[in-house]
Every structure is written in C-alpha cells, then in structure tokens.
Amino acid sequence: MTPLQRVQEKFSQDILETHAFRGDETVLIRPSVLGEVAKFLKTTPELDFNFLMDVTAVDYLFFAGGRIPKEFRFEVVYHFLSLKYNHRLRLKVAVDEKNPEVDTLTDLWASANWYEREVWDMFGIKFKGHPNLKRILMYEEFQGHALRKDYPFNKRQPLIGPQN
C-alpha cells in the first residue's frame, strides 16, 4: 500500500483531492486535520516520514487572466521524505483568504521552524503555535507580503538606515 493510499484510508473524510503521477503522490486536506495527518505520517512505522524537506505556499488569486475556480485562495505545501523507505509525499493544506492560518509542525519537525517563517514572511500565512513567527527574509519594517499576487510590485517601502 502506498503512502497516499494509507492517508486516503485513514482520512477519507478530510481529503479534498489527490493525485499520483509517475510516483509523485499528492494529497490536499482541510486545515483542521493538518496536525493529525502530519503526526500520522511521522509516527506510523510503515510510513516513517522522518524528513520534512520543504514548506512553501501557492497563491491562486489570479490564474490564466481570471480568478481560479477554487474554494480557497492559498495552499500551504509540505514535502515529506522517508529516509528509511525512500518514498515521498506532497501534502497540501487549503487555506482561507480571510483567515490565512494553519497549525505549526515545529513540534514534529524542527526544520519547520524556518520554513514556516519564510511562508509567513512571503505570503502572510500564520502558523498557530509557532515558537518565533517573525520575518526571516525581509526586514521587520517591510509592509505586506511580497509573494502574494496582489502585492503591488511598485510599492515603496520604508527606508531604514544602519543600525548603530
């Protein structure tokens, strides 16, 4: 049974969509079950996803000249690897535009700390329970989130001088 099939078996009510193509398995879930699914991926012996390779996000505000027909504007995307079994899984979490927030995974994977800070900094998606959610790429006075599709590319930012 593949990792995707195991997730489908256990969380069928909370899955919004899945796909598998050439060994690339992806599952999109509701944000309310992120912590439970992540713990299942890490602690189930036959899955053993012990390595969180990356966390990023996608902004679906505009797509092909118009609004994409999706219920949610954002997706937070997690890339997991099992070093023991050499299998991968991409986990996507649908995130609402009005309250862009999901649970942190720092308690399961320490590497989530910096990845989640980067997503917060660039997309403005908050991670509930994160130990130190602050900017990591932009300076603290930066206004907005530069990778959002509605961020004005010609916006002037406050200038800050040298810190003495």
Helix residue ranges, H only, the chain:
3-10, 34-43, 112-123
- Give the span between the Cα atoms of 149 and 88, in whole angstroms: 29
Place of tokens 């099992």: 82
Is residue 93 a contact partner of residue 112, using CB atoms and an 8 Å limit?
Answer: no
- Strand partners of residue 101: 126
Write down the domain spans for the chain.
3-128
| pLDDT tens by residue, the chain, 164 residues | 899 999 999 999 999 999 998 888 999 999 999 999 999 999 999 999 999 999 999 998 866 455 556 778 899 999 999 999 999 999 999 998 899 999 999 999 999 999 999 999 999 999 999 999 999 999 888 899 999 988 887 878 777 766 66
**What is the dotted CATH code of the domain comprising 3-128?**
3.30.460.80
- Residue 72: its pLDDT value, please? 86
Residue type, 91: L
48-84: pLDDT as tens digits: 999 999 999 999 886 645 555 677 889 999 999 999 9
DSSP state of 12: G
